[in-house]
Amino acid sequence: MPETSSALDTIIQSSTVDLFHSCGIALAPLPRKREQEVPPRYELTGTIAFHGRGFTGTLTLSVPKEAFSLVRQDPHRPFRDWDWVRELTNQLLGRIKNRLTQFQVGLTAGLPSVMSSDVYDRQRNRSEPLAIYRFRTLRGEIIVTLNGAIDPAVFVYSGTGNLATEGDIILF
């Protein structure tokens, strides 16, 4: 995304930091580079498609296995890494979607899935714009990418959106 709005950058970065903080993982956003680059693909990569007024694309969350080892788990009910990254991808888009309501942008999300290396390579070879957000943890970098068509001109701040908070139940 050559001219991504700073509001969208802030929404994505703060949503990612908040989400990982809720999992007990401290992370910090790294400066965003504006040039095209090819992000690495880590072992745990989730993806979810979305669409809405001025927004169509895919969000990808890529986490190294070392960072997964930082997740607090109940030792009696551990969860699998692929399930975890799929759920975090879904929650990340949900948090972004929630914050975009202040800008009168509604998103519809698809189902989250894990991304194989074949799918990753196909996505990387597309000519669509790509925004890359990197975050530093104690055990490597976490990468969030946006692929698709996103029009920052659709942002109309109203401040009247009723934002959900952590733990709220939202009926579809």
61-97 pLDDT, tens digit each: 999 988 887 777 777 877 788 888 999 999 999 999 9
Please provide the average confidence, as pLDDT, over all residues in the chain. Answer: 82
Write out the H or E segment, with its range, that includes residue 133: strand 130-137
CA–CA separation, 38 and 36 (whole Å): 7
pLDDT band at 163 (very low <50, low <70, confident <90, very high): low
Pick the residue with more confidence: 14 or 127? 14
CA–CA separation, 61 and 59 (whole Å): 7
Domains and CATH numbers, the chain: 6-31+40-154 (3.40.1550.10)
19-44 pLDDT, tens digit each: 999 888 899 999 876 556 667 778 88
CB 47 within 8 A of CB 62: no
CA–CA separation, 89 and 62 (whole Å): 9
